[in-house]
Structure 1
Amino acid sequence: MTTTTRDVAAFKRAVGHFPTGLTIVTAHHGATPVGMTLQSFMSLSLDPMLIALAVARTSTTWPLIEPTGSFAVNILAGHHHSLARRFAVRSENRFESVEYTTSRAGNPVFTDSVAWLDCRTHRIVDGGDHWIVMADVIEIGGAPDDTAEPALVFFRSRFHRTTTPHPEEGTP
């Protein structure tokens, strides 16, 4: 099957075949912790160390995070599927029963995330119906590699856990 029209459903099906990691981006709005689930996250550069996010223009959380100029990206573990759902919908109690500490910059970081990156906004550019947010990584934390739980991924509109690779598979 091929399509040459701007078929949004076909586009979603096509890109749904590409698994993405799941993150929760967090910050403080005043004294209140705020956060949102994002799957559009990538490492952008090693020198300087940059990441990129794609944030929907319809987000009600990003307008609370953006003015701070600082946020944390929490990379979710396989058991975080309910947490990913909770932070994906509008709710007053997203942080209820969530164990977190704060980074040196003061952003919430989940104590059981696979890893977290504390970031400072570098640049924001137009990305159609999203904002493309580029950020400097200023602190890195999380579980040591040898003890980290496999990550949570989104594939074909469902949550999945990654598996631990076999040692003989090596690194690409």
Structure 2
Amino acid sequence: RVRRNDIVIELGPHTGKSTLVYLPRTKLTIVVDKSNESKEHFSNILKNSENIRFVLGDVRSFETIINVLKISRECDVLAVDMGGGRYPDTVFKVWAVWSGIFKPRDSIIRNRGLAEFIQRAKIEDNSIIRNFEDSGWLSEYGRGIPYKLRKQLEEFKFWVEI
């Protein structure tokens, strides 16, 4: 999925094991994590790679999104790796917000709870769109700019402070 010269935003990289696999192919990789452990692991990676930036912050916070926008407004691949199997609804909300802003070509989501739900679910509704022009973001949000998208996310305030 990650192609040569892609711009990748990875949310929840932890120690960077999966990041190191694709990093040599990217034009720019922005990793976002809220843990100091992650910050420590990435300090070594940052020394050895010119195409990576680390943002310390909570991906549910709009301030974190603003900090990433200061680095890049482009994103080819959005990788979301959060929470193991817990809180798949939060993973979906985070993906919906970030993909609505950055409009990636492709998205990669790693969450056991969400994956189990998808494996068990059977879609019976023929009105559900099966093919999308943009494969990496929730196209129903439209291509609004971040402050307009923020206004649409009133429900999101129940989960995090934005």
TM interval, shorter chain, is under 0.3
Q: Which has the higher strand share?
A: 1
Instruction: State which structure, 1 or 2, has the greater radius of gyration over its C-alpha atoms.
Output: 1
> TM-score, normalization: structure 1?
0.23
Q: Which has the higher contact order (CA 8 A, sep 6+)?
A: 1
> TM-score, normalization: structure 2?
0.24
Q: Which has the higher helix share?
A: 2
